[in-house]
Structure 1
């Protein structure tokens, strides 16, 4: 039994599920676009996948139908990668994508009217394969630079996509070489599976556990302090705690030198996304991604982190409103308390109105 078609189909749907889950948690346009691309890829019109499974494309439609999916996937991958990098689409990006879409349509029109002749497979496939292969390589590069941690299992995600893209670029020239194309189809399945495994790790298991036990004896509870120095006087140097999780606005390049190597930092910023330092682990998280920030903290707690320090509450309030930011605090506080942990909130009372200050004092003990 030839498992290559099944492996290829399975890896495509794993990629879609992982990216779709990421999109559902972040609500970011980039992951929605990428998820849509991988959904189309899961239903891609490729005879070597569907024919062994008993699904056959109508004769005469294959040449055009298979290229439509190539162009659609390429446009969505490039568009999604641009949003990963720039967090938006600028005018120049829209112009480039519009030119590309028109060119793709003209190519499909030429295929439909048989302008390339009957047997010019390499010519017919050249531009669609260039578009799809180039978009996969570009997305892989953007993922490595802006979203994926390096030297970890999740780096298989971009590398698998880049290898798949390079293989796709050779498709017009090697597809009709029977002995090579068989190996190429199997290699494509392996590269997709590599990307799928990396995507699963990136989306569902982004955080490891602390390698050391607690060194600071803090009674389980929720504490409120006006600043970090006052908290240090009362609780000790939290920076030396290996089970520490920080939600902060402080520059991580300055902060990391003072932290225990096992500490975990969520740097709240719009400038970056993903892992930016390994020891201590520093993740950049958008301030509006409250849902995914809660999920990341929950995963950290499940892996043994027990002290949460939040000194970015004012910024979260500005970006989301007090009610959303306060709900975030109560959610993570309940999570830590349920595991015998501690939450240390540092907020300047002058930044809060009397009602907000009373709500904070009701949940957190002012020391």
Structure 2
């Protein structure tokens, strides 16, 4: 809108004083430069958000004797999830992914420094995981598994929530890939779920692909 009078002036539709012409040109250039800066800042922020990794710091190994469980991904009823976690966490380096607030999880387990990733769409800084970013969550967990050869434990709560946000097929692929990496990197992955949350075909696929601790 600021440059339009200048164009009319150049086309001799109107006549502007030299001082007014210079003022409009200066204001227009300032606004144009500011707009370009904001556009660049927006692109940088978007790219930074897309490429963000989730850091698991610190990684703490819990003292105690390791209960022998073959590496892999195991589904378990939600009601027994925390009880199994309390048993299998001993002697392993854990990470917890959950829909509950990290503080409440640490309080429930009486472990202050355990790494917890919170599945949420809210912007809350480090420790929060956007449920739509399955590929980066997978990257984070695989990086954690590969840190060393010590036994590790991943507690993956909120699969139903991930399904709502992404659909069954992407979550199934995510779990299948996670299973392969867990087997290669001495990691037990616990996935608390309820059968009633799935259609029969989906549940049969999960049971065929993943283990169940009560079967061991």
The bucket for the TM-score relative to the shorter chain is: 0.5 to 0.7
Q: 1:286 aligns with which of 130, 134, 152?
A: 130
The residue number in structure 2 matching 1:91 is none
The yes-or-no answer on 1:223 pairing with 2:187 is no
> Is 1:226–1:348's contact at 8 Å kept on the other side of the alignment?
yes
The residue number in structure 1 matching 2:145 is 301
Pair 73,247 (structure 1): closer, same or farther in 2 beyond 3 Å: same
Q: 1:247 aligns with which of 97, 100, 124?
A: 97
SS in 2 for 1:207: coil
Larger RCO, structure (CA 8 Å, separation 6 or more): 2
More helix by share: 1
SS in 2 for 1:270: coil
Q: 1:74 aligns with which of 31, 38, 41?
A: 38
SS in 2 for 1:343: strand
The residue number in structure 2 matching 1:362 is 208
Q: Cα offset for 1:207?
A: 3.3
Q: Cα offset for 1:204?
A: 6.3
TM-score (norm 2): 0.68
Larger Rg: 2
> Over the residues paired in the alignment, what is the CA RMSD in angstroms?
3.5
SS in 2 for 1:223: strand
> Is 2:62–2:89's contact at 8 Å kept on the other side of the alignment?
no
Q: 2:160 aligns with which of 314, 323, 330?
A: 314
The residue number in structure 1 matching 2:55 is 206
**Count of residues in correspondence between the two structures:** 180
Give the distance between the partners of 1:306 and 1:242, measured in 2 at CA: 5
Give the distance between the partners of 2:203 and 2:179, measured in 1 at CA: 17
The residue number in structure 2 matching 1:256 is 106
More strand by share: 2
Pair 347,252 (structure 1): closer, same or farther in 2 beyond 3 Å: same
Pair 274,330 (structure 1): closer, same or farther in 2 beyond 3 Å: farther
Q: Cα offset for 1:296?
A: 1.1
For residues 1-367 of structure 1, the aligned pairs below 5 Å read 71-77=35-41, 203=52, 206-208=55-57, 210-212=59-61, 215=64, 216-219=66-69, 220-229=71-80, 232=83, 236-238=86-88, 243-259=93-109, 260-275=111-126, 283-304=127-148, 306-366=152-212, 367=214
Give the distance between the partners of 1:257 and 1:241, measured in 2 at CA: 20
Give the distance between the partners of 1:225 and 1:235, measured in 2 at CA: 11
Give the distance between the partners of 1:344 and 1:205, measured in 2 at CA: 20
Give the distance between the partners of 1:210 and 1:238, measured in 2 at CA: 16
TM-score (norm 1): 0.42
In structure 2, list runs of 5 or more residues that go unmatched.
1-27
